[in-house]
Amino acid sequence: MLRFFSRYKFFGIVLLVLSAIIISIIYSILKPTPVLPIYEPEMVNTELVDSTVQHIRKYHKIAPFSLTNQNGKTITEKEYDNKIYVADFFFTTCQSICPVMTGHMKKIQDELMNDASVLLLSHTVTPDIDTVAQLKRYAKRKGVNDTKWNLVTGDKKQIYNLARKSYLAAKSNGDGGPYDMIHTENFILVDTKKRIRGFYDGTDEEEIDRLLDDIEILKKEQ
pLDDT (0 to 100) of residue 28: 46
pLDDT (0 to 100) of residue 71: 98
pLDDT (0 to 100) of residue 184: 84
**What is the average per-residue pLDDT within 180-192?**
85
pLDDT (0 to 100) of residue 181: 58
Which of 104, 99, 194 lies closest to 149, judged by CA?
Answer: 104
**Three-class secondary structure of residue 67 per DSSP:** strand
**Three-class secondary structure of residue 19 per DSSP:** helix
Q: Is 162 left (phi over 0), alpha (psi -120 to 50) or beta?
A: alpha
The tens digit of pLDDT for each residue in 80-108 reads 999 999 999 999 999 889 999 999 999 99
Q: Is 194 left (phi over 0), alpha (psi -120 to 50) or beta?
A: left
**Three-class secondary structure of residue 82 per DSSP:** coil
Residues 6+ apart with CB under 8 A from 111: 212
Is CATH 3.40.30.10 the right assignment for the domain spanning 41-221? yes
